[in-house]
């Protein structure tokens, strides 16, 4: 902050009250666009920066949020965390990160605020070991935003993409190429496998719309969405009497594992087997062949999650839960088209 510049200085330059400046800077109340622009111009000219630490202390807050994910070694979460950290930093918040390994008891600790309220003001949470029903046991006073496929019960916000629609598009892409033995790798038919089950639903719906039966032997379950799971499942599929001519993988890591097995068996991608992944991680853009993928808008997911959590933290009254769908798109690459993407950023 420029030395000696105060909120009152900004108010005088902008020709508004100090309260109006505070409302603009902190987002506490609606302000007209003209007034907001005038205040922002004064803020920029004077180099004013709000004292976030003092503001948080005065409000009895720590100035930190927790982000809880199953695995830090998964590129999707690593890329998403970068976006969350950037978005929180802009708002003057630090981020505490915890890896749960999908352990249900560990995840429950973050839903019961207890003494941890001194460490963080709210949680952005991507549960793996907990089912939808477990979220109802949380501390209702804890500001919470949930990622992944968990429908809000009205007491928290949920931010994610439409997994059914995205998986439908991925499978339709393969069927549209004339493939008729399309496998799916990543189904998780158990209590906490909601996200995988939604992807399987989209896969099945694509077949239904195409008037094609699903060959149940081509739907393979995996414990996780990692490379080794993809490699093992692909080997199983290739050993079938009628192996697939295409495969929809429920993550790019699964797709990379599948590509490894296909290469080791001497099969060509996409000529012999076409492959689609999910998540649009950087590794998939640089693999050979590059991976056709479902690309969630991770920037929108990160920024929206932070925005909604800070709204909950800053509100003195309960904030109704929201279901927020972030955009997604299917990015065709060499693993289905036979041609490398024109640019390395996935476009």
Report the distance separating Cα 235 and Cα 314, nearest Å.
Answer: 52
Tokens of 167: 């998986």
- Residue 33 inside a domain? The answer is no
Co-location of 175 and 263 in the same domain: yes
- Residue 11 inside a domain? The answer is no
Co-location of 178 and 282 in the same domain: yes
Report the distance separating Cα 333 and Cα 58, nearest Å.
Answer: 52
Report the distance separating Cα 271 and Cα 246, nearest Å.
Answer: 10
Helices (H), 47-162: 52-58, 75-90, 104-109
Tokens of 333: 């690459």
Co-location of 272 and 200 in the same domain: yes
As beta bridge partners, residue 292 has 276
Domain count, the chain: 2
Helices (H), the chain: 7-14, 18-26, 33-46, 52-58, 75-90, 104-109, 163-176, 194-210, 227-238, 252-264, 282-286, 298-314, 334-337
Rg (CA), the chain: 24
Tokens of 206: 């694509």
Please state the φ and ψ torsions of residue 274, each to the nearest 5 degrees.
-90, 145
Contact of 265 with 325, CB cutoff 8 Å: no
Tokens 């352990």 label which residue? 103
Co-location of 114 and 221 in the same domain: no
Report the distance separating Cα 76 and Cα 160, nearest Å.
Answer: 13
Co-location of 254 and 305 in the same domain: no
242: CB partners within 8 A, 6+ apart: 181, 215
Contact of 166 with 205, CB cutoff 8 Å: no
Report the distance separating Cα 230 and Cα 250, nearest Å.
Answer: 9
Write out the chain's pLDDT in tens, 347 residues.
455 678 788 889 999 988 888 777 766 567 788 888 888 888 888 887 766 555 555 555 668 899 999 999 899 999 999 999 999 988 888 899 999 988 888 888 878 765 455 588 899 999 888 877 787 777 888 899 999 876 666 678 999 999 999 999 999 999 999 999 999 999 998 877 888 999 999 999 999 999 999 999 999 999 989 999 999 999 999 999 999 999 999 999 999 999 999 999 999 999 999 999 999 999 999 999 999 999 999 999 999 999 999 999 888 787 888 899 999 999 999 999 997 654 445 44
Q: Name the residue range of residue 153's domain.
A: 62-161+298-315
Return the CATH number at 130.
3.40.50.2300
């Amino acid at each position: 902050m420029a030395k000696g510049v105060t909120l009152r200085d900004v108010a005088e330059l902008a020709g508004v009250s100090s309260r109006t400046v505070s409302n603009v800077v902190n987002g506490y109340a609606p302000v007209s666009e003209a007034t907001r622009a005038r205040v922002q111009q004064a803020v920029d000219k004077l180099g004013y920066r709000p004292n976030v630490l003092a503001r948080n202390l005065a409000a009895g807050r720590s100035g930190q949020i927790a982000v809880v994910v199953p695995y830090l070694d998964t590129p999707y979460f690593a890329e998403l965390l970068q976006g969350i950290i950037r978005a929180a930093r802009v708002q003057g918040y630090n981020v505490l990160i915890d890896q749960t390994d999908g352990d249900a008891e560990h995840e429950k600790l973050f839903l019961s605020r207890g003494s941890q309220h001194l460490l963080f003001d709210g949680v952005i949470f991507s549960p793996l070991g907990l089912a939808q029903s477990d979220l109802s046991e949380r501390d209702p006073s804890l500001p919470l935003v949930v990622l992944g496929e968990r429908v809000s019960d009205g007491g928290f916000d949920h931010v994610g993409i439409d997994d059914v629609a995205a998986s439908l598009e991925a499978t339709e892409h393969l069927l549209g190429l004339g493939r008729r033995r399309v496998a799916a790798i990543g189904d998780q038919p158990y209590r906490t496998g909601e996200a995988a089950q939604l992807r399987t639903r989209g896969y099945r719906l694509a077949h239904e719309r195409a008037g094609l039966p699903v060959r149940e032997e081509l739907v393979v379950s995996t414990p996780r969405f990692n490379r080794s799971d993809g490699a093992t499942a692909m080997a199983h599929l290739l050993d079938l009497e009628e192996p697939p001519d295409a495969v929809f993988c429920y993550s790019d890591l699964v797709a990379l594992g599948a590509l490894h097995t296909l290469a080791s068996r001497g099969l060509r991608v996409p000529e012999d087997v076409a492959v689609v992944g999910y998540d649009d991680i950087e590794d998939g853009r640089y693999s050979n062949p590059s991976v056709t993928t479902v690309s969630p808008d991770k920037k929108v997911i990160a920024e929206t999650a932070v925005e909604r959590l800070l709204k909950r933290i800053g509100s003195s009254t309960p904030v109704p839960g929201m279901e927020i769908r972030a955009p997604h798109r299917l990015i065709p690459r060499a693993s289905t088209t036979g041609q490398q993407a024109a640019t390395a950023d996935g476009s």
